A and B are shown apart, each in its own frame.
Chain A
């Protein structure tokens, strides 16, 4: 698992990068009440605002961590946003198909992420 400084987790699945938010982020947000996901087959660039997550407190954007194509979204979160709080590591948002998984090398590993939020 890799981590972004925007508190997303990234998991590799074949040639796909699966993206969710970390437990730390879910705790900070509080109860999630709304999730808006991108369209499948959208081409995204790193830093694009691709999903919206709203908690009882505020709205935040989820940014595309890498360039690529959105090939799957987790529709379950739209009907049950609370899944994000129940198990943030299982509640994936979208999967991005990338050309080269090497782009993940730039992201933090578990220890580095723990240091960041420590």
Chain B
């Protein structure tokens, strides 16, 4: 549904968010809950201690249905991403990156092999462009179906497994990045054991016919609380995860972004299917020789957060980069940030300076994440 005055789309669970006291703000073309009455700090800590329910239905859910077999589809998808698609087994999910001709990132995504098709989840702001890009690149091998009748929920935190198992018992046996179908009130849910918080948890694609009932059944559990976009951002920042449009974009390469782990050996120099994706020259070169700049974790000294845009300098005053995401980490109990710096200054432990309100304050390069993940591998 679209609001005729603001042009903003409404989530299928809009009324539920309002009932829960959600503060609704415009985000990626939707009216989204940024926080509930508990507030960002408590919502963040609740997710780390119990289980948080996030409505991420704004994200794009896309099916790639093969027209010439799964192998042709997987190989076709590999022409758009520096990722091993063919090697992903049925029932498994993987992180992927759509790249452009200059080796930048058009979007980051999750894709799952669901046996006879691929299921792709993309960033809300990129849905239209991604769909067009996939159609243009994969017209020979699949139908690209952008789904509009399913919501997407994330249940994250140490108690997510126990909570979800009460409704979908078979999910308890899943491991990190497993995907299964499960039935709820006669509808087919697609569950993956993954998330965007660094916690163990699940992402669940739910047909809109049962979305409200499913969300309410989870929220009725004592350990489950609704969590807004504000805490989603601080959770992913502590987990060292990139936010598209901020930490990665069409100018940053996967290698600069420290996402080289997402590029499997088979696609690298010397691999059986090396290269053959947009921007492969730059990306393979950076993998072999190292990039000129790198995304790093940044720990400001003191309590002042260094936010996006904060300029970074070497100790001798040379400008060497900028913060791309920053704020306060409620679990770390200190400000946390990430950003790009010249590779020569990307060593953990190096002290840089970040300019805040005209003053240059010390900030230390450190490895990501700020908090170890608790995935069930």
List the interface of chain A (C-beta within 8 A of B): 30-31, 33-34, 36, 52, 54, 56-59, 78, 81, 85
| CB pair B39 A30 closer than 8 Å | yes
Within 8 A of A (CB), among B193-238: 230, 234
| CB pair A33 B305 closer than 8 Å | yes
| CB pair B327 A56 closer than 8 Å | yes
A97 to B: closest C-beta gap in Å: 25
B246 to A: closest C-beta gap in Å: 15
Instruction: Give me 10 A-to-B residue pairs in the complex whose CB atoms sit less than 8 angstroms apart, sorted by A's number.
Output: A31-B39, A31-B42, A34-B305, A52-B357, A56-B39, A56-B327, A56-B328, A57-B40, A57-B230, A58-B307
Any A CB within 8 A of the CB of B61 = no
Within 8 A of A (CB), among B346-377: 357
- What bracket does the count of chain B residues touching chain A fall in? 10 to 19
| CB pair B304 A56 closer than 8 Å | no
| CB pair B35 A30 closer than 8 Å | yes
* Cα distance, A59 to B35, chains bound together (Å): 18
* Cα distance, A75 to B39, chains bound together (Å): 25
| CB pair A54 B230 closer than 8 Å | no
Which residue of chain B has its CB nearest to the CB of A49? B357
| 0/1 interface trace, chain B 324-336, chain A, CB 8 Å (1 if under) | 0001101000010
| CB pair A81 B303 closer than 8 Å | yes
Any A CB within 8 A of the CB of B41 = yes
| CB pair B357 A30 closer than 8 Å | no
| CB pair B328 A33 closer than 8 Å | yes
A118 to B: closest C-beta gap in Å: 18
Contact partner of A34 among B35, B234, B328, B330, CB < 8 A? B328
| 0/1 interface trace, chain B 299-337, chain A, CB 8 Å (1 if under) | 000011101000000000000000000011010000100
| CB pair B305 A59 closer than 8 Å | yes
Contact partner of B230 among A33, A34, A56, CB < 8 A? A56
Which residues of A lie under 8 Å from residue B335 when comparing CB positions? 33-34
Which residues of B lie under 8 Å from residue A57 when comparing CB positions? 40, 230
* Cα distance, A56 to B229, chains bound together (Å): 12
Which residue of chain A has its CB nearest to the CB of B40? A56
Within 8 A of A (CB), among B37-71: 39-42
Which residue of chain B has its CB nearest to the CB of A78? B303
| CB pair A36 B41 closer than 8 Å | no
B84 to A: closest C-beta gap in Å: 38
* Cα distance, A48 to B327, chains bound together (Å): 25
Which residue of chain A has its CB nearest to the CB of B233? A56
Which residue of chain B has its CB nearest to the CB of A79? B303
* Cα distance, A36 to B39, chains bound together (Å): 22
Contact partner of B304 among A31, A36, A58, CB < 8 A? A36
| CB pair A54 B328 closer than 8 Å | yes
Within 8 A of A (CB), among B3-48: 35, 39-42
* Cα distance, A102 to B130, chains bound together (Å): 62
* Cα distance, A58 to B309, chains bound together (Å): 13
| CB pair A56 B234 closer than 8 Å | yes
| CB pair A59 B230 closer than 8 Å | no
B194 to A: closest C-beta gap in Å: 25
| CB pair B40 A31 closer than 8 Å | yes
Which residues of B lie under 8 Å from residue A58 when comparing CB positions? 307
Which residue of chain B has its CB nearest to the CB of A57? B230
| CB pair A54 B305 closer than 8 Å | yes
Q: Which 9 A-B pairs have the closest CB atoms?
A: A33-B328, A31-B41, A56-B40, A34-B303, A34-B304, A31-B39, A30-B40, A54-B305, A30-B39
Which residues of A lie under 8 Å from residue B330 when comparing CB positions? 31, 56
| CB pair B304 A54 closer than 8 Å | yes
Which residue of chain A has its CB nearest to the CB of B34? A57
* Cα distance, A85 to B39, chains bound together (Å): 11
| CB pair B41 A56 closer than 8 Å | yes
